[in-house]
Structure 1
Amino acid sequence: MKDTYNTIAFSSEELLFKEKNSKFFGYAYPIQSEDEVKPLIDILRKQHPHAGHFCYAYQIGTSTVAYRANDDGEPSHSAGMPIYGQIQSFSVTNILLVVVRVFGGVKLGVGGLITAYKTTAQLILESCAIIEKTIDCHFSLAFEYQNMNKVMRVIKEQKLEIVSQEMEISAITTLPIGKIELKTRKKNAEKLFDTFNSMFEIGIKRL
């Protein structure tokens, strides 16, 4: 079971590609949700007030993938899809690529545009640090405080990562209740669930 994916470590530096006086400024950003896209492009619109097109493509997710390719006024499929093609070619996800075009007075034609946007996207990705990350599953544990040591022993033995931890008072028993959110690699998820699910007085659920 594959439980890793490739993405970029951090946002790229600005990259400039020129073709027949047109300037293509390329940018790459690591993202986790579609909500991050518009604010990033809005920033670029302020940086390039004279640009005519802010074309982009993004992909988010691993087992279930969401993507979009946007031509932003360029001829259909001449910008967004060539950019997205490079995301596929480099096998990366959770990424946004934006290519900003400043028209130079010479029309490139559809073929020229496809080549220019594809090349800019390729050069951006070649300049990025591409890293491998694990696909993680999250679980929530709930237990009475007296079982804290038992829970922590398993966490330590299995080298599990604690995302958050809190204590609250049960409305029914008025006893302290421990709540811990854990994450583990996808390939270890079933083992983790079975371990805690088999323990008396420990509640576990997938998030």
Structure 2
Amino acid sequence: MSAAVHVPAGAKLLLATGNAHKLGELRAILTAPGGVAGLRPEQIIGSGQLGVLEPVEDGVTFAENALIKARALAAATGRAAIADDSGLAVDVLGGAPGIFSARWCGHHGDDAANLALLLAQLADIPAPHRGAAFVCAAALVLPDGTEIVEHGRLEGTLLMQPTGAGGFGYDPILVPAGMDRSCAQLTADEKNAISHRGKAFRALAPAIAREVGRR
């Protein structure tokens, strides 16, 4: 695998995302206790910073899409790469939006439109039946072809309207099980400690640490 993209000398870990919110969240998760010891946030570089375009995510599962993104970044750089694919699975919708969460409204990345459409679709669903979960698959692809995938899940209940100004995506409408605040009302540390993404990447952390230690 030959590098076609210049990677800054200080980079220890490459993350396949151009989403600044996700990059910040994963930097916090991977450099906190339970993450990768000795790794600093600035050493985690997103594909958007490298000018690497994200590939078409045409997998049918979170794991497949995470691997597609990690493989593409690893191929472009000749370096180990990590990626995640995540979304919201609503019980009464049979797990939808699922892998289509970021483009539920018909186009990618419009959080407000995605929220509005989903809430309209669930408008008549009472609280006892508004169960849902954030789901994440985190993938690590190494230059030698080794691939590792870990999963994380955060169960909760959906609100009738967005609440809270933090987070991103569907955070304002999911209240984690056992809590009385939406994910958008939690501090970053509170959210990362219980989130689907935090669980998946902490499970992947030992493999990431082994790779980072080689650099």
TM more than 0.5: no
TM-score, scaled relative to structure 1: 0.20
Larger Rg: 1
Please report the TM-score for the alignment, with normalisation by the length of structure 2: 0.20
Greater percentage in helix: 2
Larger RCO (CA within 8 A; separation ≥ 6): 1
